[in-house]
């Protein structure tokens, strides 16, 4: 048996012993140990992640580390329902071969040019994430990449990695780009204009870094792709893909009816608020996905119900619910308050020092705890600092980039990466190993995180 099989037991035990020796209270030790168990199982025994999450949740209930009412609060049901709705929509578009239709329009411009192929797909992934959100973008882009890899008969995993990274990076450009951006905007009172000024230029530069990095890391794979492209007649492929598509007008209507409201969901919420209907923008996102899903289930007959039952990645959804809730238990047992007090004492209340400390903590935790949960956990700390009269404007951008970019390092750092891995598993394709992810993701995470934090620090504290 490989050493990786023992690590899900060794790591939590080691963590608990360390925490006990430094004098942490028993409830905090148990909460952190449970999370360490789920994380280590997810990293080293991917197929057992759901069992680990459910088991950890049960232990948290029994030991009162997580009361049931807080389980409901911390599970981020808005994200779960949004994912559910979008999985139904994507499943329908797959059933009608709509992605093949889109590829037939795209492939003539990319065929024969592997570097252009990667560059265009990376920018598409980043732009798509910025316009809608990373979850929607990864659902659409993953299917497109899988179809393209099937056409060229190449290993899809190395195609998916840079595209997944592009989606994660691109989501930092706008308020609605990913859940972390939404959390930062809402908690920090940041507007879309703030993002355009402070975030978008860094995001675009990071995408350019990703393109150069991809060309360097996948040099051999690019050569193989070039040879595969020569073996394929692009006209025959375009004709075949166009022929396979079914009801493209209806599929386009459904696609746009989801895409457009997602892009303007903030404006829709503002309009409703002006009529006295108080609604959060994120609930517009959830509602759009659920309305589209309900239409498909209701009017596609047995096929619609089949999409709901078989195209939705139920394992990933339930795992995310358990994982979100378990990390939320840290707030309940008082770990958050302890961290806030420690940071204020350590920095002496200096905003620049706090920027560095909080960004560093976020960068370390995000690849391990999921960046949404990390930022959701750290946001109350920053709000508390604001009440103490400390300027936290640039700290919010610090946790945006350290939370998102550092999360590129591991497969559990973002919801997008978990969704992509779940899609690979659902299609019975070979799973990405932790080593494969770290080999490409860890250096990239370090490069773009340091770059982004340096620019924010330079513009925010040095050049002001």
Asked which of 175-179, 218-222, 272-276 is least confident by mean pLDDT, the reply is: 175-179
Q: Whole-angstrom Cα distance, residue 31 to residue 337?
A: 15
- Count CB neighbours of 18 within 10 A: 12
Question: Distance of alpha carbon 62 from its chain centroid, rounded?
Answer: 30
Q: What is the pLDDT of residue 243?
A: 67
Between CA 226 and CA 289 the distance in angstroms is: 38
pLDDT score at 318: 92
Residues 154-205 pLDDT 10s: 888 888 999 999 999 999 998 878 889 988 887 887 877 889 899 999 999 9
Instruction: Return mean pLDDT, the chain.
Output: 87
- How high is the pLDDT of residue 128? 84
Q: What is the pLDDT of residues 139-148, one digit of tens each?
A: 888 888 888 8
65-79 tens-digit pLDDT: 999 998 988 888 888
| % of the chain surpassing 70 pLDDT | 97
* Beta carbons within 8 Å of 231's beta carbon, 6+ residues apart: none
pTM over 0.85: no
Angle, CA 382 vertex, CA 380 and CA 385 arms, to 5°: 110
Sign of the CA dihedral running 316, 42, 441, 357: positive
Q: Give the span between the Cα atoms of 275 and 147, in whole angstroms.
A: 45
Q: Is residue 346 very low, low, confident or very high in pLDDT (cuts 50, 70, 90)?
A: confident
Confidence bin at 259 (pLDDT 50/70/90): confident
The per-residue pLDDT for range 354-403, each reduced to its tens digit, is: 999 999 999 998 998 778 878 877 887 888 788 888 899 999 999 999 99
Q: What DSSP line would sit under 319-335, residue for residue?
A: HHHHHHHHHHHHHHTTH
Band the pLDDT of 244: cuts 50, 70, 90. low
Residue range 102-124: mean pLDDT, rounded = 83
**Whether residue 449 has pLDDT greater than 70:** yes
Contact 183, 324 (CB under 8 A): no
The encoded tokens of residue 65 equal: 């580390």
Q: Could you state, in order of their start, the residue ranges of all structural domains in the chain?
A: 1-65, 66-462
Residue 64: the pLDDT is 92
Of the candidates 361, 359, 362, 368, the residue with the CA atom closest to the CA atom of residue 414: 368
Distance from the first to the final alpha carbon of the chain:
57
**Residue for token digits 């991809």?**
214
| Closest listed residue to residue 166, CA positions, set 201, 194, 203 | 203
pLDDT at 3: 62
How sure is the predictor about 291, in pLDDT bands with cuts at 50, 70 and 90?
very high
In degrees to the nearest 10, what's the CA dihedral of 317, 318, 322, 324?
10
């Amino acid at each position: 048996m490989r050493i990786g099989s023992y690590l899900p037991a060794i790591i939590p035990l080691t963590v608990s012993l360390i925490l006990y020796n430094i004098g942490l209270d028993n409830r905090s030790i148990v909460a952190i140990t449970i999370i360490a168990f789920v994380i280590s199982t997810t990293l080293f025994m991917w197929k057992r992640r759901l069992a680990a999450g459910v088991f950890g949740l049960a232990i948290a209930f029994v030991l009162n580390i997580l009361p049931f009412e807080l389980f409901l609060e911390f599970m981020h049901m808005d994200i779960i329902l949004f994912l559910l709705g979008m999985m139904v929509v994507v499943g329908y578009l797959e059933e009608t071969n709509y992605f093949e239709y889109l590829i037939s329009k795209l492939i003539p411009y990319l065929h024969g040019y592997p570097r252009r192929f990667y560059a265009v797909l990376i920018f598409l992934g980043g732009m798509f994430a910025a316009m809608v959100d990373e979850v929607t973008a990864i659902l659409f882009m993953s299917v497109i990449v899988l179809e393209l890899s099937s056409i060229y008969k190449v290993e899809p995993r190395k195609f998916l990695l840079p595209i997944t990274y592009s989606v994660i990076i691109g989501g930092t450009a706008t308020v609605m780009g990913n859940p972390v951006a939404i959390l930062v905007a809402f908690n920090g009172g940041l507007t879309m204009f703030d993002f355009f000024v402070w975030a978008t230029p860094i995001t675009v530069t990071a995408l350019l870094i990703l393109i150069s990095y991809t060309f360097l890391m996948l040099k051999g794979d690019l050569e193989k792709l070039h040879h595969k492209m020569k073996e394929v007649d692009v006209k025959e492929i375009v004709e075949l893909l166009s022929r396979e598509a079914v009801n493209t007008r209806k599929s386009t209507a459904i696609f746009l009816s989801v895409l457009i409201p997602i892009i303007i969901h903030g404006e829709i919420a503002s309009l409703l608020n002006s009529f006295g209907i108080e609604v959060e923008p994120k609930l517009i996102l959830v509602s759009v996905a659920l309305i589209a899903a309900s239409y498909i289930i209701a009017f596609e007959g047995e096929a619609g119900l089949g999409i709901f039952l078989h195209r939705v990645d139920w394992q990933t959804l339930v795992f995310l619910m358990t994982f979100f809730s378990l990390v939320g238990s840290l707030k309940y047992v008082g770990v958050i308050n302890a961290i806030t007090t420690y940071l204020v004492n350590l920095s002496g209340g200096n905003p620049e020092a706090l920027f560095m400390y909080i960004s560093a903590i976020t960068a370390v935790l995000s690849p391990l705890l999921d960046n949404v949960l990390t930022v959701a956990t750290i946001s109350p700390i920053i709000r508390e600092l604001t009440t103490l009269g400390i300027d936290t404007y640039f700290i919010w951008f610090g946790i945006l980039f350290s939370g998102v970019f550092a999360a590129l390092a591991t497969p559990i750092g973002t919801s997008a990466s978990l969704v992509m891995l779940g899609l690979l598993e659902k299609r019975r394709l070979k799973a990405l190993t932790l080593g494969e992810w770290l080999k490409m993701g860890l250096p990239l995470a370090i490069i773009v995180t340091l770059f982004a934090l340096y620019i924010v620090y330079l513009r925010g504290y040095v050049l002001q």
